[in-house]
Each structure stands twice: as C-alpha cells, then as structure tokens.
A and B are shown apart, each in its own frame.
Chain A
C-alpha cells in the first residue's frame, strides 16, 4: 500500500497474540468525521491511524473481497452488516495482493472465526497488512448520517484520542473529488495473466479486480495486463482482439491522459469493454459527462435492468461517480442498463465504435453472478470481429 496516502503508524503492536479473545482489554479507538462527529470504539486489526473518505457497503458477505478491491483504494470502508470477520480470510478471496481500503469500521468485529476454508482470522490479516480498524461503533447511525450529509472524509485512530486533533486531521485529508488514484494501484509492469487459445484481451489496469481477470481466463482468453498510461502503440504490438478498461479508484475527470488513450483506442477497430472506472473513462472519451454522486452505490443487491431484454440482474456496485443520464441526449451511446432504484446509468453501448461498458461489477466477488453474460458478450464481439476480418 502506498505510504504517502496510507499514513499508518506502527504502535504497540501485540506481535504474538493479536487474535486473543474478548478477555483481552479492548484498546480504545476513535473515528472522527470532518463535520465534527466523533465516535468511540475499540481498535481492531493494526493499531495506528488512518484517514480517507468514509463510505459504506451493504453486502452481508464478502468483506475480504471488498477490503482488497482496488476501487476502494484510499477509502475508509464501513460495513453495514454488524458481524464482520465471522469466516476469517482466505487467499482465494483476495482481489489484489493486499488490502486496498484505508481503514475499516464495523459494529461487531469477530476476532474468532469459523470456516474450514479459511487461512487466518480477519484480525491477523489486518494486523499483518497494517490495516487499521475500529469496532463497536453504531454503524447504522453513521450510515444515516452520511446518507443525510453526503460522503465525507474521516480519520480512525487508536494513537491519538484527542477529538479536536482528529477532526482537524479529517478536515485536512485530501478530498476524493478531483483526485487521480489509478496510478497508485495499477501494475508497475505489464504481465501476462493467462495464456489461452481464445481471444486476446489487453487489460488497461486502473486497479483491476482479480475476478475480472479470472472471468476472462475461465473463458479461455489470453489476458495481458498493462499499466495505466501504457502507450497504445505498445498495446497494439501485442495485437489484442479486444481492449478492456478496468475498474479502479478516483475521479475519472482527473484522468485526461487516460481519456485521450481510450479515445485513441476507439479508432483501433477492436471491441472495447469497460467496467466501473473503465466505463466512466469510455463515456468521457465518447463525450458524455460524469458527476460525483451525493452518496455512492456500494453493495451487492442493486437491481439493474437490461433494457434490451427487460431482465433484471441483481448486481454488485461500487462507485461514487456516475455517467450523467442527461448527457445521453447527444446520441453518442445507447442506454443498455439502468438502475431500477434511482434510474442512474448502468450500461452503455456506443454508436461511434464497437464497445460497451457497465457501471456495475459483473465479475461480482463479492455478489451475485447474474451479469456474467457480459464477459461472454465481449468474447462474442471479439470473435465476430475476427471472423469478419
């Protein structure tokens, strides 16, 4: 995790027995919001201090996937489901090499876990990865607070318990709006994820979730992952059948170079597919507008309607920015998917080039598998291209 952003400090870490039981005296910890609200709880995971935008996720399972999702880079993740840690952690549930969230807020942390498939407790996992957390706080009250006041920055600390000092730190924390973060989580070097006889997919990594790569791999694709900002010419030399723009953190409007790159890719004549941040970049490149939402969508239960078929997919969502539905009037893209709760844009097919993108997460992990057909659609598009070529 990038040190300049995640200002964790090692402090009195219990090296030998971090997961000892409730008999252990809880270490006090505080969560301070930039609007002055301070709540007290107990420290879980790594003992230290951290800050970021406080957001919440309503998934009742899948905490490890969420904590390691690069799209959450730099955010403090509050889980609405009270018991977190119940089934421990396992290597197969990693969506990146390490946790990506800046901190964790829960109501009732399970230091002890039960699942034969698990490798270690969430407590040990967080400690090992220097992930700071707070437990025992009224998460529901905080969710309602954010719902009303909008997302805001916050600081968690078990080393500084002075309210005023913490509020000040939260206020000074850089705002998410206008922040480019993809460069902090993208791969340093290009690498091959999978060799396959199927279509060749070039992945622009803005913080790609592993399950996206696994989803392509499962369909026999050859997947090559490129760092964000890789010159399109380099990608071309790999001769991809399609280009995928990944999910990732940050404000897409602060990524002019990447948008330019996507725009150039549109002229290559290969199918393009984007998820989440990739979807927003494709929209911006096509001339659509993106705005920051008052409260984002983060959960695994959002209904998305496929406008072509009428079918509804229960989807995994994780975004604080969205494509403006008003900007669709220009006619650059067809709305293919819409959120049934608030009618926000969930999917687009572009007119000027062979490409589609979705705001939500068909790779799930965590979440329902209802939308996996989108990966098939992309493969179909690439196959169509190669047969017609």
Chain B
C-alpha cells in the first residue's frame, strides 16, 4: 500500500523533559519520525515542552509548539492546527498516555483526528497487568505467575500462594516502573507494598513470581499494515532478571540462545504484537528464560518506539523510528528500501557481524544516602554503547566510553579487597562486570562467580579470557610485546592506558602507543551495514577494531571533527548533544565534511543521517586520536560537547591538533582561578574573594582568610559535581576530604558565597573582535542553588537597565580579553546594583538550547560558523541576531526524585535535575512563574 493521501497534517507528540526512564532517545526517534514524514510531504506539527531537543527545531518540523504536555494544551493545539492524524508512539510513555487519555474522553474522534502508529484501544492491555496476562494466556504465551492486589492484606495472601519471598511488586500505570521492586524480607514488605499502592493511580500492585536470576531478552519489532512483522534486533541482558532493563548491561545480538530457542521467542513476539490490535509501527517485547529448563515467559510488550529501539537502531544501522513513521502513514515494509544498502529491501531482519554492548550510566554520587542497589525500578541517567568485533572488545570499549575515569574493564588501578568484591557481586550493582573481572583476578572460578552473580557463564568465560590476557601482560616489559600479542591484546579491547598499567615496566600511555604503532598496529574502521557484509552499503557509519581491512575511505575534502558529549548524566545532558548536532549542521553548511565522534546511543548526533561521517566510538583519548590520525581533519571542535570534549583539549593542544574556536590556552585560563581573577582585576570587574587549595591545610587557611559562608568545589567539573556551601572550618575539612576521595590531586576552589544574591546566567558569542550577548537569564531561586536546578527567566524580570548594561559590558570585556572565538557562558551574582562575576566558561552551556528556543535564534549554528571564521556582523546585518521573544520565557528544571525515595529532596550547589521544560509567559501571574517564585527558598540546602 502506498502512503495515505487522505492525511495531510500530522501531530507528533514529544516526551517532555528528560527524567530517569525517559530520556533523549525520544528526541532521536521524534526527530527521525518528523523528518521522515516531512520527506513524504506531510505537514508536521510538533509539541514538546523540552527546549533542548532537535525535534523542536525549525529544521525538524513545520510548526512547533513549545508547550506543556497536558490534555489542555494538546486540545488547544488541535483546535488551532486541525491535524488529520496524531502519531503518539514517538514520545515515550508520556505521549502514549496523553493520547490515551484524550482517546478515553472521545476527543480524537470528536475532532476527527485519527490516531496512527498504535491501536489506541489496545494500550490499556499492555499497561494493565491483568489484561495483559489474560491476553498472553489466550495466545499461549507463558507468564510469570502473578495476581493483582488492591490491599496490603491481599498482597500478603498472594505472596503465600506464590511460595513466599522474594516476590516482585509492580504498581500499575507508573512510569519507568516507579515504586516497583523486589521484596526480599518480611521487614520491608509492608512499606514497599503500601508505597506501590499509593503510587499507582488506580491503587493496584501486581504481586509476581520472582524471576531473579533468569536470563532476560528483548526483541525490537516492526509491523506494517499488511501484517508483515520483522525482528530488527535481539538484545540479551548480561544482568539477569531483577534489574530493570534500562539499568542492565546488555548486548546485541543474543549470545547464548540456540536457534531453536530464539525462533520460539521470535514466534511468541510476533504473536504478541499481532495480539494487541491492528496497527503499523514499532513494538518492543521482553522475555525471561529460566537457564536450567529453558522455560520462556513473556515479561511485557510496549507498542511504541522505546529506549531499546533507539539502541537497536544504532546497534544494527536499521532506522526503526523512521521506518515506523512511514509504516504509520500506510507504507508497507516491502515498499521501503533499506536506506543503508540503498539496493535491498527494508523488509528484512538485520544481521550483524560485531557485538554491541550497552552500559547504563548512573549518578549516585549526586544523591546523598541513595540506595545504589539496582532493582526493577530504573535509576540510570544515561547510557553508552560500544561496538567491537567481539564481546570482549565491545565490553572494554563501553567501559572506556563511560567517562567515569576507567580506561577499560579495570586493569587501570588497584582492585578493591576480596571481601568488597564479594559483597559487590552478591547484589546487583552498576559495576558488576568490573567486579567479575576483579573476582577472576583474585582467582575465583567461573562456577563461584556464576553462583553469586547469576550471570550466564558464557559472559564469564569471556571476562576470564580478558583476565588471562592481563596475566600474560603483567610478566612482560613493554618491549617484549610482539605484534601477535599486541594484536590479541587490542582485539580484546584493551586501551593503551591499561597496557601501560599492566606491563612490568613503568611506561606511559604514549609510550605504549608509540610501541604499538612501531609494530604497525592501528585500528581499522568497519562499516555498520545491517547485513554483515552481504551487500555493499552506503551509510557512512563506522566503528573501530583491530582487523585487516579498513572500510572508511578518507576524502580529500576539508574536515571538521566534532566531539560529542558522551553518556547523559546530570549536568551534561541532551543540551550538549543539541549543540553538537547544530555544530555538525553548521560545519556542513559551510562546506566542510563534518565528522562526529560519540558513544551515546540515545542521541540525535549518533543518527548516521546527521554528520557526513559518524564514528560510534568512545570519546576517549586513544580512540579519538586514532580517528584523527586516520581522517586528518583541519581541526576539532571541543566547545560543544561539554566537559567530555573539553577534557581532551589539553592533549590536543599538546599534540598539534588544531582546536577550532577559542584556543586551549584561553579555555584553560577560565578554569585557572588565579589567572581568571587576575583578568577580572585587570578589567576592574568585581568578583567574590576566592582561593585555591591543594592540601587540607591550605584549604583551611584559605577558608579562614576568605570568610564564611564559602563555596567549596573541585576544578574541571561540570554540573557542580562535589560543590558544597561550607559555613565553618569543620565543614570545609569534610567537603575537601570528600572531593579528594573522588578526584585525587584536584585543585579545590574556594569562593566567598554571596548570600541572598540574584544569580544570572549569560550566554554570548564572540568572534574575537565583536561580542553578541545572546541573553541574560535571571534565576528565581537564590544564589546557592545550582544554575541547572534553578528556574531561569529571560529577559530578566527584576533587574534595572543599568545593571543589565553592566552585565553586558562585563561579558563583552571578558569575552574579548579571553580571546573567545565561539560561545562563552558567564555566571554572575547581583547584589543591589553591584554585579559580581563568578565564572566564565568559553564553551556551549546547558542554557544555549533554552535561549535559542526562547528567542528563536539558532545560537549554536551561528557560534559554530563563528568558530569556523565567520563574523558576527554578517549575522547581525542579516537580522539573524534579533530576538523573536515577546513576553518572557521560563526554564523550569525537572527532577526525578520519585526514583530515589530514600533521598531527601534538597537543592544546593550540586546539580540534581535531570531535565528541563520551557514555558512562554506574558506576565508574572502565570503559574509557570508564580509557583517557582513562591517556593524559591523551600529546598535550598547546602
């Protein structure tokens, strides 16, 4: 069936602010869907409250509503736009729930809007445990034994029936599994069940047979209107059942299923998808398998694109969201080409000839008192994906991607004690694979580790093989490693840093690299082609491995490499990916070949349609340098990817790679408190008294000198990591101790805290001679609350014109004095008519996308072009720097507190929000302003 002609205009619902369990993967799928639909000639109307998204950019949709995702606002938009159809499957559970709510009220029908991409009547089946159970029984798919409880008493009875504890509780209709978990002991039973009953909007919890220790699998499916179903990807969880799939280390394809087992699973998945109504689109199905018996049961089905489908798209090269959108408007799979090969059909099941590993990224250090144990409720804030030819290689590359200081699966520091390793393995923690490696290092057997961790032995064998290679290296001097051994080591994913740590002699990473290159060993770059090499492919999507043949030809065009921002985490989220994507597009517009390096599967930047070339690789020094040596770009853009990219800047500067835009020396100046303060002094710009400390003693002395309250923070971090307000000597001592435990050798910064000041965030672009102050954002919360957690208003709502002028003047002076070429973000505190500069960061900030959306100006795009040599005057003359904002725009931080019930809600200098929303208001009576204003002091803490 060709595409439908009776539909002209389609409403696409986004997923709103980033929260745990629903992140930027929906920006990726939403943008893909919007682009696909526009390519087909449909008019796309998009609604999302999250400004830091590519989907809400004019490049993506015809009409964009940056509005709250509520039934009321959807109705408002529908009444203005009169769309013919609504596609609610690209915006996660939020969009699906919204569409469902309006459907229940008969709204879509009343307005003549057709819901496409999902069978809306069937959504309840997938969300309601009992209905789902009944359906599975009907179609002959096995289930975990379970029953719904409406009271604590009932929950107790059911637990008896199931054979006692442990038991799983799952509150009905909650997002990301909120309130769900395993109950191990009678002590926690009442509390957890009651909480589940309270959290569930219908006050029901499902009491379920505990499948802890079973193997878990996920399948990504697509179906068209002809009822053709294909499986795009099979994902196997290394973490056994009991850990939310979003928190699990997963691999693709499945590694331990025989074909017969897999086909049974495939058949069941197809039956399940066909059982939830007739619709064309994407779907995700989860299964558990009892290792000893092979008994397979269905866990759940989601009739929409998901976090896993984003992962599956990146893992296989198959653009699930794009195809799902086309299927929703009537195409059938056989009518669509496989865009990766260009010559074959989209109606097939990708075959891959590499292994993909995903590791979730957590931010537990942000939440004091948090329970780090993983359970059925998701806690991860982001994830990384790595591609290798073997599991070992991809596992180590994934660890290199995490950006939490690891150079691979351990082998870069001393192991913790035997006891600690055992304790870490007994329960589910994020670093399970590392602890498995440590256990093998200590001589544990596969049987022991399997018994404690319940991880499938096949994965343990691979990790044991990694450890065996470590053992071989530890007895050797670097010079004794010959080519064959080096190839084996690199093929197992070891970084040069790990090799340097492992070998017997005292060598550096650079020396290992030099030795390796002298042996003639460089990585080769392979194509992600959906078909395991069976057909030639066109898509410029690459990964590295130590193979014999490179498939990434280097063009003779001038190239710009853009470093991505790695895994999402608090303080460095989707905002930076937004800027990276615009950086790529801007570089392309100027005629450069834009090359992207990133390892975050949730993002738009790793959509192989975006850059001229995508390297899905860790943003890790060795891997980036390998790509640079292969591509020889003109330069590297580091100021868009947040702290990740910035951290590498020093090494670029040291190795002769050109940094595009602000030079390394000037970027470093901003981080060097002493130099920066000298600069401010020279410019006659006020700043709070400050000091630096390298030792606890120095810290106390400096603190006493400056006076209290005092801001204590490490240098070179983002999102206020480790930042605290200290009111006395003891607290300073405590906080610096905490910082050095986490970041040894860090130079700690101490600033006088300006109490009751008004905090400002300013973003500006400088071309070296001219400065454009893009916007001044005034915080509603008092200084002391991290800017990322503050409600910010643009333009300022209570600053005099004189103060604002002073702000602009300071920003201009600083930008010019720092020789900024590109973006700069300045944070200031206003007390009375005095303006103090707290810090200046010559890079894309978290607020850039918000400001861009608020004013309707493509700030990142302009900034990138300025970095590449364009003048601000060109843009000013073309009228591109004029704000379209009438009234005010408010940036509201969004938190995921419900995921950490044991953590006290408090705000301070360390950022805790996971996402943000934008609201446009005309006056201060608006709830978007009034509510945060009234509550501004409520949660301030240290």
Contact = CB atoms under 8 A, between A and B. Distances in A.
Contact of B353 (A81, A90, A93): A81
B786 interface: no
Given A114-B456, A310-B334, A340-B334, A82 B548 contact: no
B856 interface: no
B842 to A, nearest CB: 42
Nearest to B263: A369
Interface stretch (A5-13, A55-63, A272-280, A375-383): A55-63
Interface string B338-360: 00000111011111111100000
A369 B468 contact: no
A59 B228 contact: no
Contacts of A311: 226-228
Given A107-B389, A340-B345, A342-B344, A61 B262 contact: yes
Contacts, number: 170
Given A143-B534, A311-B226, A83 B260 contact: no
B347 A312 contact: yes
A301 B391 CA distance: 22
Given A114-B458, A301-B349, A367-B259, A341 B535 contact: yes
A302 B344 CA distance: 10
A60 B292 contact: no
Interface in B380-413: 389-391
A220 interface: no
A367 B293 contact: no
B549 A140 contact: yes
A353 interface: no
Contacts of B254: 60-61
A58 B531 contact: yes
A312 B327 CA distance: 15
A114 B457 contact: yes
Nearest to A144: B533
A16 to B, nearest CB: 21
Contacts of B352: 60, 81
A303 B345 contact: yes
Interface residues of A, number: 57
Contact of A58 (B226, B456, B532): B532
Nearest to A302: B348
Residue among B333, B468, B533 facing the most chain A CB atoms (10 A cut-off)? B533
Interface SS of chain B: loop
Interface in A129-159: 138-141, 143-144, 147
A83 B395 CA distance: 14
B601 interface: no
B230 A314 contact: yes
A86 B458 contact: yes
Given A80-B353, A83-B355, A303-B348, A143 B533 contact: yes
B341 to A, nearest CB: 8
B412 to A, nearest CB: 22
A299 interface: yes
B353 A82 contact: yes
Given A58-B532, A81-B353, A90 B258 contact: yes
A101 B334 CA distance: 33
A313 B349 CA distance: 10
Residue among B253, B260, B347, B390 facing the most chain A CB atoms (10 A cut-off)? B260
Nearest to A88: B258
Contact of B263 (A87, A144, A364): A364
Contacts of B256: 86-87, 114-115
A107 B548 CA distance: 12
Residue among A61, A115, A116, A141 facing the most chain B CB atoms (10 A cut-off)? A61
Nearest to A66: B259
Interface string B456-500: 111001000100100000000000000000000000000000000
Interface residues of B, number: 57
Nearest to B344: A341
B391 A59 contact: no
Given A60-B253, A140-B547, A305-B334, A93 B258 contact: yes
Contacts of A110: 458, 461
A92 interface: yes
A295 B907 CA distance: 63
Interface in B292-350: 292-294, 332-334, 343-345, 347-350
Nearest to A108: B390
A82 B526 CA distance: 14
B334 A303 contact: yes
Nearest to B291: A116
A112 interface: yes
Contact of A22 (B253, B259, B465): B465
A31 to B, nearest CB: 12
A116 B293 contact: yes
A98 B800 CA distance: 88
B390 A83 contact: yes
A232 interface: no
A371 interface: no
A303 B347 contact: yes
Interface in B249-276: 253-263, 266-267
A144 B348 contact: no
A218 interface: no
A113 B446 CA distance: 12
Contacts of A108: 389-390
A81 B259 CA distance: 13
B263 A314 contact: no
16 contacts: A21-B468, A23-B468, A60-B352, A61-B254, A61-B262, A80-B353, A82-B353, A82-B355, A83-B390, A107-B353, A113-B458, A140-B549, A303-B334, A305-B334, A368-B263, A369-B267
